[in-house]
């Protein structure tokens, strides 16, 4: 099997490339390196079934040889990154998606799209099942991420209907683990960075907003099973263990043993109040659920960050 993985040098993409190569696949990894890094795939660079190309998929792709799957993960993914790169984020989730779909159609390959829990916006249904259509502000700052993800889901479904491209849409909830960038602005790397420096942990608002965090190895297992299963989705992939942001900050401070205090700062515009995946479909269709507890996953991530960041 041969996959083209866009965003393959990013946090999640690099873990997925490793899994595909370990499963015996050939992988062509394309990454614009806007938020990805060659260091993330350093362990794969010498592998004969892995190839990395620095390439922006908003340009059409002319790829030699057979392709079985186009896995479209490319996009800035942290709120800080997509607010810093709003146009690039809109482009990779529109022009980039069309280019990936055209490649899949040309190669008679399947298309897997990395959608997101952000398609649910600030949800009015909790936990969120795939049947929920969401509550997204189409003109707010986060729309540069949410809307292209929604648009890409629509484009994928249209290519399946109009051209028979086999499509799979996964909606990925908050995921964390080794290879997150130290300054990508997300809660987990921020709190770890601050705790390791003995600096105050910056909780936005009063910290009562919730997130449900999935360790990256569990997520990759879910993606692998989804790839090998029947069905288009959309399929929620995430860990339904929900915590408040304040609980998350306190847990990271405790695990780091830093004695850092908590400071309360401004809340970003349209920051979702609650987020938790309903993973009934993944449990039933894939026999999948996460196994790594938040304590264990954060401990592993802290250990990695101690080595990689300091
Ligand atoms: N957050 C925070 N302090 C930080 C970074 C993030 O309190 O230093 C909050 C953020 O406002 C949100 C939650 O943590 O409520 C998760 O944010 P993140 O950027 O990790 O991901 P999101 O789920 O918003 O995409």
The residue whose two tokens read 């799209």 is 113
Residue 258: the pLDDT is 87
Give me the residues paired with residue 29 across strands. 5, 52
Residue 96: the pLDDT is 98
Architecture of the domain spanning 178-211+241-274+292-309: Alpha-Beta Complex (3.90)
Q: Which residues are catalytic, by number? A: 145
Tokens representing residue 68 in the block: 């079985």
- The domains of the chain are located at 2-175+214-237, 178-211+241-274+292-309
Q: Which residues does the chain have with pLDDT short of 70? A: none
Residue 310: the pLDDT is 79
All residues at 6 or more sequence positions from 116 whose CB lies less than 8 Å from its CB, including other chains: 77, 145, 146, 149, 171, 172, 173
Residue 89: the pLDDT is 98
Instruction: Provide the CATH number for the domain formed by 2-175+214-237 in this structure.
Output: 3.40.50.720
The secondary structure element, H or E, covering residue 171 is strand 167-172
Nearest CA residue ID for atom 14, ligand 1: 187
Ligand 1 geometric centre to CA of 207 (Å)? 9
Point out the ligand 1 atom lying closest to the alpha carbon of residue 203.
Answer: 7
CB-ligand 1 contact for 260 (6 Å cutoff): no
d(CA 185, CA 191): 9
Instruction: Quote the pTM value.
Output: 0.98
d(CA 211, CA 100): 30
Nearest CA residue ID for atom 23, ligand 1: 174
Pairing of strands 242-244, 210-212: antiparallel
d(CA 155, CA 170): 14
């Amino acid at each position: 099997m041969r996959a083209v993985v866009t965003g393959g040098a990013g946090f999640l993409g690099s873990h997925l490339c490793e899994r595909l190569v370990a499963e015996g696949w050939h992988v062509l990894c394309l990454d614009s390196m806007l938020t990805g890094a060659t260091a993330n795939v350093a362990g794969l660079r010498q592998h004969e079934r892995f190839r990395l190309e620095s390439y922006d998929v908003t340009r059409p792709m002319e790829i030699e040889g057979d392709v079985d799957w186009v896995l479209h993960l490319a996009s800035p993914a942290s709120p800080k990154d997509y607010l810093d790169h709003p146009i690039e984020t809109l482009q990779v989730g529109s022009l980039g998606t069309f280019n990936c779909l055209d490649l899949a159609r040309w190669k008679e390959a399947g298309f897997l799209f990395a959608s997101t829990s952000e398609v649910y916006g600030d949800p009015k249904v909790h936990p969120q099942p795939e049947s929920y259509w969401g509550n997204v502000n189409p003109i707010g700052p986060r729309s540069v991420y949410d809307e292209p993800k929604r648009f890409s889901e629509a484009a994928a479904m249209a290519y399946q209907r109009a051209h028979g491209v086999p499509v799979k849409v996964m909606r990925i909830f908050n995921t964390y683990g080794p290879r997150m960038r130290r300054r990508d602005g997300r809660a987990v790397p921020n709190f770890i960075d601050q705790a390791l420096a003995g600096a105050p942990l910056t909780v936005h608002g009063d910290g009562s907003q919730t997130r449900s965090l999935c360790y990256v190895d569990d997520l990759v297992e879910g993606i692998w099973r989804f790839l090998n299963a029947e069905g288009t989705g959309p399929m929620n992939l995430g860990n339904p263990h929900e915590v408040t942001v304040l609980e998350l900050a306190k847990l990271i401070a405790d695990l780091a043993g830093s004695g850092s205090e908590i400071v309360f700062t401004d809340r970003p515009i349209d920051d979702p109040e609650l987020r938790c995946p309903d993973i009934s479909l993944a449990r039933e269709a894939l026999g999948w659920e996460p196994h790594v507890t938040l304590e264990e996953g954060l401990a592993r991530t802290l250990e990695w960050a101690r080595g990689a960041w300091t």
